[in-house]
Chains A and B, each alone.
Chain A
Amino acid sequence: MFEIPWNVIAMQFFFGIALGCIFVLLSSGMSIIFGLLDVVNFAHGTFAMLGAYAVFVVISLSGSFVVGLVSAVVIVGIIGMIVEFLFLKPLYGKDPLLPLLLTFGLSVAIPDLIKIIFGLIGKPVNYPEALSGTLMLGSVIIPGYRLFIILFTLVALISLWLFLKRSDLGMIIRASTRDSLMVQTLGINVSRIWTFGFGLGVGLAALAGAIAAPMMSATPDMGVDMTMTAFVVTVVGGLGSLGGAIVGGLLIGLVVAFTAFVAGEYSSVSMYFCMALILLVRPRGLFGEQGRE
């Protein structure tokens, strides 16, 4: 075996974590939606794609990356709430597979709509200038934007955690995840909480799409791969578990980054192998509750 210098390995590790952070944002949104509404959102990646396009549009209008990120979340979150209100609400209490099928229909239709509006070819999103450089940490080269992704995800997750643990609305969301009937009995309009929860989850997907956009540019068909990644992370981490989404996301990010480095042609396959392995060894996922799968 030839020797790989440790700083190259450290760099791959760093890349893997940054990639994993995008997966974490994506899957935690999926996890919130599943926990609250019991809906597997097949269009999750599609909403991430909408986030990437939103950041493209807002940046070309305002010129600011931060404004772009924030408005991507808000715009897509509102779209998500409208979708939940119009399409998903009528399906609750019926066959549990119907919401999945409905979101699948959306994931077929929406990319074509984007192709009509923005054209077939993807839209490049520039790195914000302040973050386009690299940092030297000893002999390890760190691209600024990837460091930003990691720090940004950390901040986003901490705020999400504080929101869910400390705010009244967060408490209601957690309670509805456990027992929505009881929350309803206490006089809270759970239906509205569901709408908001779907918007929140989809907003997180949009955030993932938006911060990924400078690295891969916004393309109409990027959604499917992101949905698929969210599925794999969810199976690996455990369905409906936020901690599982975080650990699973980082793990898959590392697996993909290292396979891309060692055996490039296997990089897209590696995460599915990882999933099959987890299913063999620990069927409920790393953090899954017994019996929920």
Chain B
Amino acid sequence: MVNDNTNTTKLQELHAPPKPVVVYGTIFVLLFLPLVLSTPLATEILIWAIFGMGFNLLLGYTGVLSFGHAAYFGLGAYSSGLAFRYLDASLPVGIAAGVLAPMLLACFIGALAIRKRGVYFAMISLAFAQMLYFLALSPLKHITRGEDGLTHIPAMAIFSFSLGKPLPLYYFVLVVTGVMLFVTWRILQSPFGKLLQAFRENEERAKACGYNTTMVKFWSLVISAFYAGLAGSLNTVYLGYVPLTTLFWLTSGTMVMMTILGGKGTFLGPLVGVGVFLFLQNTISLITPRWELFVGAIFVAIILLFPGGIMGTLEEKMMAYRMKRASK
């Protein structure tokens, strides 16, 4: 396509998807993460980053705020935990269970509520997550073990390669993270991914172009539940135990805070947000048990001052810089 106007070419480039080097570069950098941070913290960052990528797809790229993503994360964690513990499932089978169950739940919640406007959907998703939490807490206590969480989950192995030690587990999770990072990158460039972003920018206009916005939002929710369930089952493999807090509202809230902190709607935002959040949480909780006060206050400050988050603000600055250069 020939374009005479240099300005528009520049602008088109600004909205271009991340280059392949960003994807492979990130994976390369993550290879060395255990050298900088403790291996368990690094593993936790990757697990939450997978969760975050899916959440960002929904909040950042589609513009739908789910305040109950703990439901998918926790259901994934419990499904694979139950499969491992009671059915002696192998790793792939357990993870498959942990991914399918949340997707089915997302189909149900999506069918009921995805048509609602933003704030309403946020409330409903949160209420459903609380429903699962209370179900696991008390009526289903005989299988979920209630407040104690699901314990005695055997250590996993893949191709007779034990994942019981921290470092092999880290690299296993890294392989999954790498694949999901690549998948996310491909999704964003697919026609479906373009549609998501079109809706976020202007839903009415996308509707007028003849697209079924409800269906696209619905599938975005289901895909996002896939990521959350995957992260949940990896969390079960990592901990060897399913804490009840995986279903707790604060898990959903933490995910929201991480994504906003990193920058919603940016490719690397969730990874950066998760990393910074977990690092902050670990550091502050060494000093005081009241880390929530600081994290909450930081979050309020970000909403007020930098609603674009870390990566969003950086991108804005880059854009302003490029616009300035282009106009010269």
Whether A and B are associated in the same complex: the answer reads yes
Q: Which residues of A contact B (CB under 8 A)?
A: 40, 87, 90-91, 94-98, 100-102, 104-113, 115-116, 224, 228, 231-232, 234-235, 239, 265-266, 268-269, 272-273, 275-276, 279-280, 283, 293
| Cβ 8 A contact of A235, one of B118, B127, B303 | B127
Give A98 to B308 CA distance when docked, in angstroms.
11
Q: Does B158 contact A (CB under 8 A)?
A: no
Chain B CB within 10 Å, residue with most, of A90, A104, A234, A276: A104
Q: Which residues of B contact A234 (CB under 8 A)?
A: 123
Chain B CB within 10 Å, residue with most, of A94, A108, A224: A108
Given that A98-B307, A276-B128 are contacting pairs, would A112 and B249 also be in contact in the complex, using a CB cutoff of 8 Å?
no
Contact A111 B292 (CB under 8 A): yes
| Cβ 8 A contact of B304, one of A90, A266, A276 | A90
Q: Which residues of A contact B115 (CB under 8 A)?
A: 283
Distance (whole angstroms) from the CB of A270 to the closest CB of chain B: 9
In the complex, besides A112-B290, A112-B293, A276-B128, 5 extra interface pairs with C-beta distance below 8 angstroms are A87-B300, A105-B300, A107-B296, A115-B290, A283-B112
Q: Which residues of A contact B128 (CB under 8 A)?
A: 272, 276
Give A279 to B116 CA distance when docked, in angstroms.
11
Give A224 to B129 CA distance when docked, in angstroms.
13
Interface residues as binary, B288-301 with A (CB distance below 8 Å gives 1, 0 otherwise): 00101111110110
| Cβ 8 A contact of A279, one of B65, B67, B113 | B113
Contact B117 A109 (CB under 8 A): no
Contact B123 A231 (CB under 8 A): yes
Q: Which residues of B contact A276 (CB under 8 A)?
A: 112, 128, 131
Interface of B is mostly: helix
Contact A266 B293 (CB under 8 A): no
A-B residue pair count with CB separations less than 8 angstroms? 116
Q: Which residues of A contact B300 (CB under 8 A)?
A: 87, 102, 105-106, 109
Query: Which one, B13-21, B134-142, B165-173, is touching chain A?
Result: B134-142
Query: Can you name 28 A-B residue pairings with CB atoms under 8 Å?
Result: A40-B119, A40-B123, A87-B300, A91-B303, A97-B65, A97-B118, A97-B122, A98-B303, A100-B65, A100-B122, A101-B303, A104-B67, A108-B292, A108-B296, A109-B297, A109-B299, A109-B300, A113-B293, A224-B249, A231-B126, A235-B120, A235-B124, A265-B141, A268-B134, A269-B138, A275-B127, A279-B112, A283-B112
Q: Which residues of A contact B130 (CB under 8 A)?
A: 228, 272
Interface residues as binary, B243-254 with A (CB distance below 8 Å gives 1, 0 otherwise): 000000110010
Distance (whole angstroms) from the CB of A124 to the closest CB of chain B: 23
Give A101 to B112 CA distance when docked, in angstroms.
23
Contact B292 A112 (CB under 8 A): yes
| Cβ 8 A contact of A87, one of B67, B257, B304, B307 | B304
Distance (whole angstroms) from the CB of B111 to the closest CB of chain A: 10
Q: Which residues of B contact A266 (CB under 8 A)?
A: 138-139
Contact B116 A293 (CB under 8 A): yes
Give A269 to B294 CA distance when docked, in angstroms.
32
Give A272 to B257 CA distance when docked, in angstroms.
25
Distance (whole angstroms) from the CB of B294 to the closest CB of chain A: 8
Q: Give the residues from 221 to 239 in chain B that come closer than 8 angstroms, CB to CB, to chain A.
A: none
Q: Does B260 contact A (CB under 8 A)?
A: yes
Give A234 to B116 CA distance when docked, in angstroms.
14
Given that A97-B122, A234-B123, A268-B137 are contacting pairs, would A105 and B296 also be in contact in the complex, using a CB cutoff of 8 Å?
yes
- Residue of chain A at shortest CB distance from B137: A268
Give A95 to B131 CA distance when docked, in angstroms.
29
Given that A97-B65, A108-B253 are contacting pairs, would A102 and B127 also be in contact in the complex, using a CB cutoff of 8 Å?
no
